[in-house]
Amino acid sequence: MSSINKSSKFLSLFFPIVLVLGVLFISFKNYTPETYLIGWDSMHPEFNFSLNAKRMLSHVWGGEMGLGAISAHSDMSDLPRVLTLWLVSVLIPSSFIRYFSIFFSLILGPLGIYFLLKYVFQREKVTLWIYPAS
C-alpha cells in the first residue's frame, strides 16, 4: 500500500520537476554572465529606479523614447514588475536582474498552467458539461 502512495506522489511531482528542469536548462544555455539583457524598448528600470518611478507616475510625453512621443501604452501596468525588480536588486547584481525576471516568469508560467489544468480536470463534475458551483 505504501509503494502505491509513493509512486502516486512521485507521479504528481514528476511533471513539475520536468518543467522546472527544462526551464533551468534553457536559462542556463541562454545566460551570458556580465551582460545585460536588452528588450525591444531598451528601457531599463534597474539602472535608476527612482527616475523610472518618476517617469511612470507622471508620464505623458516620453522624451526618453526615441525622439520623444506621446505615451501610447500604460506605464502603470509595469509598476508591480518594477517594484519587484527594485526589491530583488538588493540581492542580485544589476546585470542579472532582467535575466532573473525573465527566467522566473518562465518557471512560474508553465507551473501555474500545469496546476490550473490539474485543478480544473480533477474537479468532480456534476454532469458532462457543468462543474458544481463552489
Domain ranges within the chain, ordered by starting residue: 2-122
Higher confidence at residue 29 or residue 130? 29
Task: Report the percent of the chain where pLDDT is more than 90.
Answer: 28
Q: Which of 2-6, 51-55, 56-60, 126-130 has the highest average model confidence (pLDDT)?
A: 51-55
Q: pLDDT value at position 99?
A: 92
How far is Cα 85 from Cα 101, in angstroms, rounded to an integer?
A: 8
Tell me if 71 sits within 8 A of 60, measured CB to CB. Answer: yes
How far is Cα 124 from Cα 115, in angstroms, rounded to an integer?
A: 16
- For 54-70, write each residue's pLDDT tens digit: 877 776 666 666 555 56
65's grid cell: 523614447
Sequence-separated (6 or more) residues with CB below 8 Å from residue 98: 36, 37, 39, 44, 46, 85
How far is Cα 95 from Cα 103, in angstroms, rounded to an integer?
A: 14
Higher confidence at residue 103 or residue 68? 103
52's grid cell: 523610472
How far is Cα 52 from Cα 70, in angstroms, rounded to an integer?
A: 17
